[in-house]
Structure 1
């Protein structure tokens, strides 16, 4: 969870400190061609029942009603006070069979080198852009903040060449389909998996960066009809159950960011 304390004499704390898609049964009078023409999809799959067709999107099987992936839990602390993103990615890459730890990812992730500059009252005037690289010091020895999806995508492609999947700005149903297919996903939310309530803005060159300070990144490892399940690198808890609608609201507020592999 990213926290901010506006005390000039103390280092600020910004870091991470939350239906099967089927076509209804057709009448037996219809031909297979007629049935296929009614499926709004680029590909289709027949079931054992010739009167039912399951839609496949992008060659991906229809989403299961529920899924739970067994993904190793890795904690970000004490080494990476603000390292929820790379720690979450370490869990995902280990699930992919890559023997890697969070510290290697910490060293490898793109950084935005712009230093923090403050006003006399402690307000942030200038800092980096998390869309370009990690902003600040991930270890917590100095102020640290976050990194967004593009540098994470690049890091996945370093470790799994050509296999990164950026699901940012996709519908959440598409993210769940990816989990259903067996892939955990790094998703951005807040520390309590609710809507962000602490916003900050600063200048970065000619840009104004406006972003919540209570953002967090976790691993989506499962779901069912009413809940999602998360491995949280900050709390150190595995398969944390969170209301699906509540989580989706927080995820959308963080610009619907999601990174995985294929």
Structure 2
């Protein structure tokens, strides 16, 4: 019988349905869908035999509200919403780490800003933090999910789950299992007009960015609202209309990270 970590059973089941859901919705070719599952499944080490009682599904609740730490990004990190939200996630998981340590450790890009022939050349936020995190007096933007995931894995090796690209229901699944979710959104918490975006040319290709980019820790939902700890305002369980929030989240690339127990 194929073996895997007991604590990873829910992770595998979650990944299975996320992957199959992406395939059925047309976002993921079948070959790539199966390859994603195979890559994850065969990378697991220190495996234990699966028993029937180890396999369970999370019931998506009608409403959830998680008590997670709230940490303000100001005054130290004017552009540090991503690492501050990560600090909240890790602290909820029982890790003792602060936002300033994460700000120092997160990967940075070194691509200089340049504007030439009407085109903007700069770093890609999925390669590392772009620009200056500590002051608005210098140029900067932020960082996307990949460097955040890599940093989080240093504190919770083998437990970090990057669910970027999945449906919004996957966020509800993890919230229903009492785990908050780190996300990329914007400061309006809704879909933005195209006029708020500009195209950057980076070493990793073109990327459309907005200076309204933001990161929060999602802590709950009900029928009407999504709830989140907001590092910008320092508010705990701040709320926004759930449909608007989902549209803004999808527009920003459906970026989301959580952890497994």
Task: Quickly name the TM-score band, shorter chain normalised.
Answer: 0.7 to 0.9
Q: 1:206 to 1:186 in 2, by over 3 A?
A: closer
Say yes or no: does 1:114 pair with 2:120. Answer: no
SS in 2 for 1:78: coil
Say yes or no: does 1:129 pair with 2:124. Answer: yes
Which aligned pairs between 1:49-88 and structure 2 lie closer than 5 A? 59-88=56-85
Say yes or no: does 1:201 pair with 2:199. Answer: yes
Equivalent residue in structure 1 for 2:134, among 127, 133, 139: 139
SS in 2 for 1:61: coil
Q: CA shift at 1:64, angstroms?
A: 1.5
Q: Does the CA-based 8 Å contact 2:62-2:223 persist in structure 1?
A: yes
Rounded Cα–Cα distance in structure 2 between residues aligned with 1:66 and 1:259: 20
> Which stretch of the first structure deviates more once superposed, 72-81 or 59-68?
59-68
Q: Does the CA-based 8 Å contact 1:189-1:217 persist in structure 2?
A: yes
Q: Residue 35 of structure 2 corresponds to which residue in structure 1?
A: none
TM-score normalised by structure 2 residue count? 0.74
Rounded Cα–Cα distance in structure 1 between residues aligned with 2:93 and 2:114: 39
* Corresponding pairs, count: 203
Q: CA shift at 1:133, angstroms?
A: 0.7
Say yes or no: does 1:192 pair with 2:188. Answer: yes
SS in 2 for 1:186: strand
**Unpaired runs of at least 5, structure 2:** 1-54
Q: Residue 214 of structure 2 corresponds to which residue in structure 1?
A: 216
Rounded Cα–Cα distance in structure 2 between residues aligned with 1:105 and 1:206: 24
Equivalent residue in structure 2 for 1:248, among 246, 249, 256: 246
Q: CA shift at 1:206, angstroms?
A: 6.6
Q: Does the CA-based 8 Å contact 2:124-2:204 persist in structure 1?
A: no
Identify, as 1 or 2, the structure richer in helix.
2
Equivalent residue in structure 1 for 2:177, among 181, 198, 217: 181
Q: Does the CA-based 8 Å contact 2:107-2:128 persist in structure 1?
A: yes
SS in 2 for 1:173: helix
Q: CA shift at 1:202, angstroms?
A: 2.0
Rounded Cα–Cα distance in structure 2 between residues aligned with 1:238 and 1:169: 26
Q: What is the alpha-carbon root mean square deviation over aligned residues?
A: 1.6
Q: Residue 88 of structure 2 corresponds to which residue in structure 1?
A: 91
Rounded Cα–Cα distance in structure 2 between residues aligned with 1:108 and 1:162: 19
SS in 2 for 1:94: helix
CA deviations 1:154-204 (Å, max 9, x no partner) are 111101111111111111011111011011111111102021241111221
Q: Does the CA-based 8 Å contact 1:128-1:135 persist in structure 2?
A: yes
Task: Kindly report structure 1 stretches of 4+ aligned residues shifted beyond 4 Å.
Answer: none
Identify, as 1 or 2, the structure richer in strand.
1
SS in 1 for 2:153: helix
SS in 1 for 2:87: helix
CA deviations 1:184-236 (Å, max 9, x no partner) are 11111110202124111122137222222211111100111221101110011
Q: Does the CA-based 8 Å contact 1:196-1:215 persist in structure 2?
A: no
Rounded Cα–Cα distance in structure 1 between residues aligned with 2:124 and 2:204: 11
